[in-house]
């Protein structure tokens, strides 16, 4: 077996790591292992070669198993221009909008790498406020539609004024 | 400059301070990934994007809420020498990836070096709090406060469903990575480590240990961290990790007592030999250094070795790294030269403790 780092000397050191109960290993020569040993600061090593490698492994598995390869070829983020194929190769998105633009492909992926598909943790104060306001506005609009279809015009007028006031407030 | 002066200046607080359960837990670390709305992730970043983000972060750290949380300074990677960047990596303040971001990267440091904020690494911001011993909750509280303070000046990319958006979907949601560095020589020596680690990884945590051939390990050091970032709250993530770590600690303590009772002589012999090698060897590579240090630290914890500070493992595993050695000896060193100088530094360091005790 040849060293996976220098591809020159025979591999004599076998490094194993355990992620999620699964062992993965790689094989190095004495010299590369020594050099790696100095770089492989245990604190930092975790970041360098863990989850992203695992992820691109998963992604490649998916594309090789003929998992709708035709559609993914054309899927592209309208904001940053990254294609889904590029994403599967590098394992990183190009911009925050990629999440929405690739959402159809993202759901099954998230199911595999995360336990759930919905965030339940912290919400930022500022943009969280926007999210709450947005939710409120949408609720008012739904109520307005219902009032109109029920021909409850008095309530509809109230709601219209409320929505106007709300929108003016959030503009300022 | 004497070694003690050098150390005085070079050591971060996480390296010298003790903390809860610090006979087994070296450090607790929380890392929070954040990105700014309206900007591509660093992988697609232009020079001007990168500069704008660095400037916005610089402004944010000078704002009122941040000033209430300590003294922060932003340093651009391009203003640091390659050697100094490497020293930062060895002190766990930045990742090797950021050290390579000479043009776009920056780091914000709090003056005690318990907090570092990487700018334009894989994500726009990575807030890291590192504390000595088992202080996961404290580290999360601090990271949370810093996150809130920054958010008053910065607008994060946040999604109603997916939470905090990150460059890699393995971090999306909370963006939080909590990790604990543990020293587990008892579990390794009693042969129960693999069983332990596979149990841990079955509850959604990742364990990383670096092994040599067979089951022999690198300094018996393991990092346990959460793997899931979406669908659990930050508190749940921290609590889950904390309780698993507490169980590991208990198993490790039991294993150490077993070793003392059943194999006392072998243990004393092993620990003392390692101490002898560290105290007298003329060449030490980094792998052997970690292994011998692990033995010595175990010997200190079990009262077999006296007169050496228990912080020696944490301290020397950082200060015997290549960039630190070159910094201390103030010259470039080849790998072979480093082995010679590393041995010299270790001998000098052990004498320092010895004179404090006897002299
Ligand atoms: Zn090699
Ligand atoms: Zn995009």
Residue-wise DSSP of B106-168 = EEEEETTSSEEEEESSSSSEEEEEEEESS-HHHHHHHHHHHHHHHHTTS-B-EETTTEE--SS
pLDDT at B214 over 60: no
Centre of ligand 1 to C-alpha B324, Å, is 24
Across B342-351, average pLDDT? 95
CA A121 to chain centre: 16
Q: Give yes or no: residues A31 and A55 share one domain.
A: no
pLDDT at A54 over 60: no
Do the domain assignments include residue A120? Answer: no
The one-character DSSP state at B1 is -
Do the domain assignments include residue A12? Answer: yes
Across B47-71, average pLDDT? 96
Do the domain assignments include residue A102? Answer: yes
Q: Give yes or no: residues A56 and A108 share one domain.
A: yes
Q: Give yes or no: residues A104 and A65 share one domain.
A: yes
Do the domain assignments include residue A56? Answer: yes
Structural domains counted in chain A = 3
A46: nearest CB among B223, B228, B287: B223
| B121 touching chain A per CB within 8 A | no
**What mean pLDDT, rounded, does chain B reach?**
93
Give the ranges where chain B is alpha helix by DSSP (H): 3-10, 13-16, 47-61, 64-67, 82-90, 96-100, 136-151, 185-189, 193-201, 234-262, 264-280, 286-301, 312-319, 322-328, 335-358
Do the domain assignments include residue A4? Answer: yes
Q: Give yes or no: residues A56 and A109 share one domain.
A: yes
pTM comes to: 0.80
Q: Which of B57, B53, B105, B52 is nearest to B78 (CA)?
A: B105
What would the two tokens of residue B267 be? Answer: 């243990």
Do the domain assignments include residue A122? Answer: no
Q: Give yes or no: residues A58 and A108 share one domain.
A: yes
Angle at B121 between CA B115 and CA B122, to 5 degrees: 120
pLDDT class of A38 with cuts at 50, 70, 90: very low
pLDDT class of A53 with cuts at 50, 70, 90: low
Q: d(Cα B234, Cα B240) in Å, to the nearest integer?
A: 10
Do residues B146 and B114 touch, judged by C-beta distance below 8 A? no
Do residues B34 and B144 touch, judged by C-beta distance below 8 A? no
The Cα of B346 is separated from the nearest Cα of chain A by a number of Å equal to 16
Which residues lie across from B132 on neighbouring strands? Answer: B27
Q: Which residue of A has its CA nearest to B224?
A: A46
Q: d(Cα B136, Cα B244) in Å, to the nearest integer?
A: 12
Centre of ligand 2 to C-alpha B256, Å, is 52
Q: Which residue of A has its CA nearest to B201?
A: A20
Q: How many alpha carbons fall within 13 Å on the CB side of residue A93? A: 28
**Residue showing tokens 């077999």:** B304
pLDDT at B145 over 50: yes
Q: Which domain holds residue A59?
A: 51-114
> Which ipTM was obtained for this model?
0.87
pLDDT at B325 over 60: yes
Q: Which residue of A has its CA nearest to B287?
A: A37
Q: How many CB atoms lie within 10 A of CB A39?
A: 16
Cβ of B37 within 8 Å of Cβ of A131? The answer is no
CA A158 to chain centre: 41
Centre of ligand 2 to C-alpha B39, Å, is 10
Q: d(Cα A110, Cα B263) in Å, to the nearest integer?
A: 48
Across A85-108, average pLDDT? 91
Size of interface A-B (CB pairs under 8 A): 212
pLDDT at A17 over 80: no
pLDDT at res. A49: 39
| B127 touching chain A per CB within 8 A | no
Q: Give yes or no: residues A110 and A142 share one domain.
A: no
Do the domain assignments include residue A13? Answer: yes
Please list, in sequence order, all residues whose beta carbon lies within 8 angstroms of the beta carbon of residue A165, skipping any fewer than 6 positions away.
none
pLDDT at A166 over 90: no
Q: Which of B294, B300, B203 is nearest to B247 (CA)?
A: B203
Q: Give yes or no: residues A24 and A70 share one domain.
A: no
């Amino acid at each position: 077996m040849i060293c996976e780092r220098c591809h020159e000397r025979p591999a004599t050191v076998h490094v194993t790591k355990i992620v999620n109960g699964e062992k993965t290993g790689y094989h190095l020569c004495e010299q590369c292992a020594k050099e790696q040993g100095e770089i492989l600061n245990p604190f930092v090593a975790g970041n360098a070669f863990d989850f992203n490698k695992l992820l691109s492994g998963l992604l490649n598995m998916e594309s090789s198993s003929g998992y709708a390869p035709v559609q993914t070829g054309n899927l592209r983020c309208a904001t940053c221009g990254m294609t889904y194929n590029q994403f599967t190769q590098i394992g990183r998105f190009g911009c925050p909008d990629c999440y929405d633009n690739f959402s159809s492909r993202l759901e099954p992926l998230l199911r595999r790498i995360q336990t759930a598909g919905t965030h339940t943790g912290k919400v930022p104060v500022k943009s969280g406020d926007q999210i709450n306001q947005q939710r409120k506005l949408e609720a008012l609009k739904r109520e307005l539609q219902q009032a109109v279809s029920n021909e409850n015009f008095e309530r509809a007028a109230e709601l219209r004024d409320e929505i106007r006031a709300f929108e003016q407030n959030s503009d300022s | 400059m004497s070694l003690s002066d050098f150390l005085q200046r070079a050591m971060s607080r996480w390296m010298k301070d003790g903390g809860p359960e610090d006979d087994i837990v070296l450090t607790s670390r929380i890392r929070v990934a954040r990105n700014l709305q309206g900007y591509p992730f660093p992988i697609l970043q232009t020079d001007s994007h990168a500069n704008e983000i660095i400037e916005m972060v610089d402004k944010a750290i000078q704002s009122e809420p941040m000033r209430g949380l300590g003294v922060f300074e932003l340093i651009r990677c391009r203003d640091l020498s390659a050697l100094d960047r490497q020293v930062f990596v060895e002190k766990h303040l930045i990742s090797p990836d950021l050290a390579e971001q000479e043009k776009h990267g920056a780091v914000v440091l709090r003056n005690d070096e318990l907090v570092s904020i990487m700018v334009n690494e894989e994500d726009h911001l990575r807030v890291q709090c590192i504390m000595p011993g088992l202080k996961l909750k404290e580290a999360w509280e601090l990271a949370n406060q810093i996150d809130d303070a920054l958010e008053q000046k910065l607008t994060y990319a946040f999604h109603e469903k997916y939470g905090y958006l990150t460059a890699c979907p393995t971090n999306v949601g909370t963006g939080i990575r909590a990790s604990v560095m543990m020293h587990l020589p008892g579990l390794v020596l009693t042969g129960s480590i693999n069983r332990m680690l596979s149990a841990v990884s079955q509850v959604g945590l990742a364990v990383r240990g670096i092994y040599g051939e067979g089951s022999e390990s690198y300094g018996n050091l393991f990092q346990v961290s959460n793997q899931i970032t979406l669908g659990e709250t930050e508190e749940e993530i921290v609590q889950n990790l904390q309780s698993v770590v507490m169980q590991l600690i208990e198993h490790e303590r039991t294993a150490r007592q077993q070793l003392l009772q059943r194999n006392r002589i072998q243990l004393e012999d092993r620990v003392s030999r390692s101490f002898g090698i560290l105290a007298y060897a003329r060449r030490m590579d980094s792998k052997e250094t970690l292994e011998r240090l692990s033995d010595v630290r175990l010997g200190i914890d079990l009262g077999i070795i006296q007169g050496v500070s228990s912080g020696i493992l944490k301290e020397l595993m950082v200060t015997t790294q290549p960039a630190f050695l070159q910094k201390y000896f103030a010259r470039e060193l080849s790998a072979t030269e480093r082995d010679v100088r590393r041995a010299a530094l270790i001998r000098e360091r052990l004498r320092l403790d010895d004179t404090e005790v006897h002299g």
